Amino acid sequence: MIARVQPLTRTRAVRGPFDYAVPEAMAAEVAVGALLRVPFSGRKVPGVVVELAAGSELAPERLATPERVLNAGLTPELVALARWMAREYCSTTARALALMLPPGAADGRGAKRALVATLTADGAAVLGDPGGAGHLNHPSRGFDAQRAGGRALTDAQRALLQQLAARGGTATAAELGTEALRRLERRGLVQIAPRIVPRRPANLVVGRADALAPPLTPDQRAAADALLAVLHAPAARRREEFLLQGVTGSGKTEVYLAAVQAALDLGRTAIVLVPEIALTPQALGRFQARFGDVVAVLHSALSAGERHDEWMRLRCGEARVCVGPRSAVLAPLEDIGLIVVDEEHESSYKHEGDPRYDARGVARRRAREHDALLVFGSATPRPETVTEMRRLSLPHRVDGRAMPPVEVLDMRGSHQPLHPETRMALADLRHGGGKAILLLNRRGWSNFLSCRSCGHVWLCPNCEVALVLHAARSSGALRGHVACHHCGHREPVPGRCPECASVSVARHGAGTERIEHELREALGSAGFPVFRLDAGATGLEVRARTLQAFERAPAGLLVGTQMVAKGHDFPDVSLGVVLDADQTLRFPDFRAEERTFSLVTQLAGRIGRPGGDGRPGAGASRVLVQTLAPDARPLRFAAEHDADGFIADELIRRRALAYPPYASLIRVVCAAESEAPAREAAEAIHARLVHGEALLLGPAPLFRLRGRHRTQIVVKARERRPAIDAVGAAVDAVGPAAARAGVSVSVDVDPQ
């Protein structure tokens, strides 16, 4: 038998697959998807079997044989998916396959092995008398004490067997005492062998877990029934795609849970994607609480060992629901009945490494391959999703709260970070003892530093972007450090200008740190704490603790970047403030308006006290949006709570400008240590594309990033497939020469 093996190497130049002769003894273990260790250009590398064949074009004596079979193989469907991803995202099959395997699998490590003791049939017989526990000291009649070593068991040995039985018949030997177990092994009562011990991640449940399904509201029932009807339909009619549109708290998760339950009842499996696990521990907890151990989680906060073992549980069918961020879309499940993508508008579904896959696109592809039901959910769906999927809506919050009014505040001419209206609202809140969330999409203290006498701006030496001031706590002398938000470069706060030696340094713009500091000075007290949450250096745990502290506090403020408007649902926040809507609005990207609308709407969805609270002086719920562009379209629609209006308007604009869903974008970036080779590679790619159907923008220089000069081409095409193929061919043609000149070429299909 011949196995066509794709070696898992990083280089684009290696294509594959390559033929290997499978020896008779190995044949039973080698199927499509199997992970092998194979000799390849003088080394031993991991590789995945992508095809089996009866013969090879190569002469038998030229065929190498695989060294061995590793234990974490893929399914044939995942192999096919990897080939599709390579083509769809202009990457290689090897890179796509590598994303699908659990950490450590490729070197045969990853699994934790330990000596595990198992009760044998004879061991069970010693304990297994029908009389029950009271008779344990009297071996059952059928058991031959002579065969078991001749001597009667001591009480301690009997107790040990009982302990083993109480653990379901297996335990790690170390746990119960290897020495003593070895003596029982010699008598044939237990067996001891090295085995894989699964490491289960700690349950991430935060807050209460509602294990029982509540009776669904009529809206939820209608949505769930539509999904269930498709799940129960014959295979040909199961390939449906739904958009579940509903504000935060409208009960979307309950509908997903009902659909997952139905898929499980049908004996099938399910994948639930969430934007970022750190932001959504509650969602994860709800799935675990409802379905228990059939839920596996796959996310980056787990250790490599935990991820490996959760992957194995999915692969062997022990776990049948996978919940996690984008990479969970590659979960090794078979017979998938349902794929859910929650908060489908989130840009975190786009993978930043190569292949730059979009988990939403991969979810669609996998759902089709499995005849599975696909459900996207959001309060602010992307315009393209609205045009492509059947829509179900949950128009009201489950608890009946109305959406808070959204007021747009004009900041033109203001020199203060807070509008007078905002200041008043915060003072009222402090007086009345309520909670507020303040959102500012800018980390750090100041946006950038400049010299007051010559205008010099402090830039990152690697990235050509302004350095951001951090952790300056005093308003006098500058302390703390300055940092680059792209590459992490840090340096001490400058004392004097390198150009003119002036010691007068101006700081511009306010970041979350400065706002936190100023609010604390102005409003903070023991009874009115100010918390800050952003994507800075703080780890997951610090973030989780900050969120918990805010949730528990009876009153206070939470200041942070956009993550404060995502994932969490605090029941009693009555004021939401967007401090600088312009930050998102002015971002140079065609999705800027969509993101701004989404940001304000997502924040509004998290504001509003349950009715009948009646705390004195707390005031009614509201959302304030500070901006220099009070007439901007997304802000007007957000203030009207008009998602449908915004989407309809946005689609008109997208059609006029030929943006998705009316065209596909592909971005090609060439990067190198020096400017010329990067530009030349981009020009060579451009020359190969210029006679095609697509519109080309560039080559245009981008700002230097991590010490690398970059040149970009953007391809805008109405016909997606031919454009991707043309770009793939151009990159393949130019790639080898570019690589020799030290240029890396990256392709981003559907950039975010």
Are the C-beta atoms of 354 and 746 separated by less than 8 Å? yes
User: Of the two residues 483 and 519, which places its CB atom closer to Zn ion in the complex?
Assistant: 483
Rounded CA separation 589/608 (Å)? 32
Shortest CB 213 distance to Zn ion, Å: 49
Please give the helix or strand (H or E) that residue 655 lies within, else none: helix 643-657
Phi, psi angle pair for 121, to nearest 5°: -60, -40
Shortest CB 247 distance to ligand ADP, Å: 7
- Contact of residue 487 among Zn ion, ligand ADP, none (CB under 5-8 Å per partner type): Zn ion
Shortest CB 483 distance to Zn ion, Å: 8
Helices 359-370 and 76-88 cross at an angle (nearest 10°) of 140
Shortest CB 252 distance to ligand ADP, Å: 3
User: Of the two residues 33 and 251, which places its CB atom closer to ligand ADP in the complex?
Assistant: 251
Residue linked to tokens 């787990």 = 302
Give residues with Cβ within 8 angstroms of 685, minimum separation 6.
668, 670, 713, 727, 730, 731, 734, 745
- What's the maximum distance between 2 C-alpha atoms anywhere in the chain? 100
Region near Zn ion per CB under 5 A, out of 321-329, 399-407, 445-453, 641-649: 445-453
Helices 720-740 and 675-689 cross at an angle (nearest 10°) of 150
Give residues with Cβ within 8 angstroms of 149, minimum separation 6.
186, 187, 188
DSSP string, 397-410: -TT-PPPPPEEEEE
User: Of the two residues 210 and 388, which places its CB atom closer to ligand ADP in the complex?
Assistant: 210
Beta strands in 333-445 (DSSP E): 336-341, 373-378, 390-394, 406-410, 435-439
User: Of the two residues 381 and 751, which places its CB atom closer to ligand ADP in the complex?
Assistant: 381
User: Of the two residues 64 and 398, which places its CB atom closer to ligand ADP in the complex?
Assistant: 398
Residue 17: cis peptide before it, omega within 30 degrees of 0: yes
Per CB under 5 A, 460 contacts Zn ion = yes
* 26-31: Cβ within 8 A, 24+ apart: 26/65, 26/66, 26/68, 26/69, 27/1, 29/69, 30/1, 30/3, 30/66, 30/69, 31/73, 31/76
Candidates 538, 542, 552, 579; CA nearest to 437 is 579
- Contact of residue 489 among Zn ion, ligand ADP, none (CB under 5-8 Å per partner type): Zn ion
Shortest CB 570 distance to ligand ADP, Å: 11
Question: Which residue in 454, 676, 729, 733 binds Zn ion (CB under 5 A)?
Answer: 454
Question: Which residue in 181, 362, 429, 451 binds Zn ion (CB under 5 A)?
Answer: 451
Shortest CB 254 distance to ligand ADP, Å: 4
Shortest CB 213 distance to ligand ADP, Å: 8
Rounded CA separation 113/83 (Å)? 33
Region near Zn ion per CB under 5 A, out of 264-272, 277-285, 455-463, 573-581: 455-463
- Contact of residue 500 among ligand ADP, Zn ion, none (CB under 5-8 Å per partner type): Zn ion
- Contact of residue 254 among Zn ion, ligand ADP, none (CB under 5-8 Å per partner type): ligand ADP
- Contact of residue 497 among ligand ADP, Zn ion, none (CB under 5-8 Å per partner type): Zn ion
Adjacent-strand bridge partners of 485: none
User: Of the two residues 125 and 487, which places its CB atom closer to Zn ion in the complex?
Assistant: 487
- Contact of residue 460 among Zn ion, ligand ADP, none (CB under 5-8 Å per partner type): Zn ion
Shortest CB 573 distance to ligand ADP, Å: 14
- Contact of residue 486 among ligand ADP, Zn ion, none (CB under 5-8 Å per partner type): Zn ion
Q: How many CB atoms lie within 10 A of CB 236?
A: 7
Beta strands in 27-138 (DSSP E): 35-40, 43-53, 68-69, 113-119
The residue type at 375: V
- Contact of residue 404 among Zn ion, ligand ADP, none (CB under 5-8 Å per partner type): none
Region near Zn ion per CB under 5 A, out of 86-94, 342-350, 414-422, 454-462: 454-462
Are the C-beta atoms of 31 and 1 separated by less than 8 Å? no
Are the C-beta atoms of 713 and 667 separated by less than 8 Å? yes
For residues 278 to 307, the per-residue mask of contacts with Zn ion, x marking binding by CB under 5 A and - elsewhere, is: ------------------------------
- Contact of residue 206 among ligand ADP, Zn ion, none (CB under 5-8 Å per partner type): none
Shortest CB 398 distance to ligand ADP, Å: 4
User: Of the two residues 252 and 704, which places its CB atom closer to Zn ion in the complex?
Assistant: 704
Shortest CB 283 distance to ligand ADP, Å: 8
Are the C-beta atoms of 708 and 661 separated by less than 8 Å? no
User: Of the two residues 488 and 610, which places its CB atom closer to Zn ion in the complex?
Assistant: 488
- Contact of residue 250 among ligand ADP, Zn ion, none (CB under 5-8 Å per partner type): ligand ADP
Per CB under 5 A, 727 contacts Zn ion = no
Give residues with Cβ within 8 angstroms of 290, minimum separation 6.
211, 213, 257, 260, 261
DSSP state of 639: H
| H helix and E strand count, the chain | 22, 30
Are the C-beta atoms of 555 and 524 separated by less than 8 Å? no
- Contact of residue 253 among ligand ADP, Zn ion, none (CB under 5-8 Å per partner type): ligand ADP
User: Of the two residues 437 and 468, which places its CB atom closer to Zn ion in the complex?
Assistant: 468
Antiparallel, parallel or unpaired: β 390-394 and 241-246: parallel
- Contact of residue 33 among ligand ADP, Zn ion, none (CB under 5-8 Å per partner type): none
Give residues with Cβ within 8 angstroms of 55, minimum separation 6.
2
Shortest CB 454 distance to Zn ion, Å: 3
Shortest CB 210 distance to ligand ADP, Å: 5
User: Of the two residues 9 and 245, which places its CB atom closer to ligand ADP in the complex?
Assistant: 245
User: Of the two residues 91 and 253, which places its CB atom closer to ligand ADP in the complex?
Assistant: 253
User: Of the two residues 255 and 523, which places its CB atom closer to ligand ADP in the complex?
Assistant: 255
User: Of the two residues 144 and 210, which places its CB atom closer to ligand ADP in the complex?
Assistant: 210
- Contact of residue 557 among ligand ADP, Zn ion, none (CB under 5-8 Å per partner type): none
Q: Cα angle vertex 716, ends 715, 721, to 5°? A: 85
Candidates 31, 108, 27, 23; CA nearest to 70 is 108
Give the footprint of Zn ion on residues 462-521 (CB under 5 A).
Answer: 462-463, 484, 486-487, 489, 497, 499-500, 502
User: Of the two residues 489 and 633, which places its CB atom closer to Zn ion in the complex?
Assistant: 489
The residue type at 79: V
Helices 643-657 and 592-605 cross at an angle (nearest 10°) of 170
Antiparallel, parallel or unpaired: β 481-483 and 468-470: antiparallel
- Contact of residue 199 among ligand ADP, Zn ion, none (CB under 5-8 Å per partner type): none
- Contact of residue 499 among ligand ADP, Zn ion, none (CB under 5-8 Å per partner type): Zn ion
Candidates 544, 600, 615; CA nearest to 409 is 600
The residue type at 223: A
Kindly determine how many residues on this chain lie close enough to bind Zn ion according to the rule CB under 5 A: 14
221: which 2 tokens? 């029932």
Shortest CB 648 distance to ligand ADP, Å: 23
- Contact of residue 451 among Zn ion, ligand ADP, none (CB under 5-8 Å per partner type): Zn ion
Q: What's the distance, Cα to Cα, between the start and end of the chain in Å?
A: 45
Per CB under 5 A, 671 contacts Zn ion = no
Q: Which residues bind ligand ADP (CB under 6 A)?
A: 210, 214-217, 220, 246, 248-254, 398
Residue numbers at the binding site for Zn ion (CB under 5 A): 451, 454, 456, 460, 462-463, 484, 486-487, 489, 497, 499-500, 502
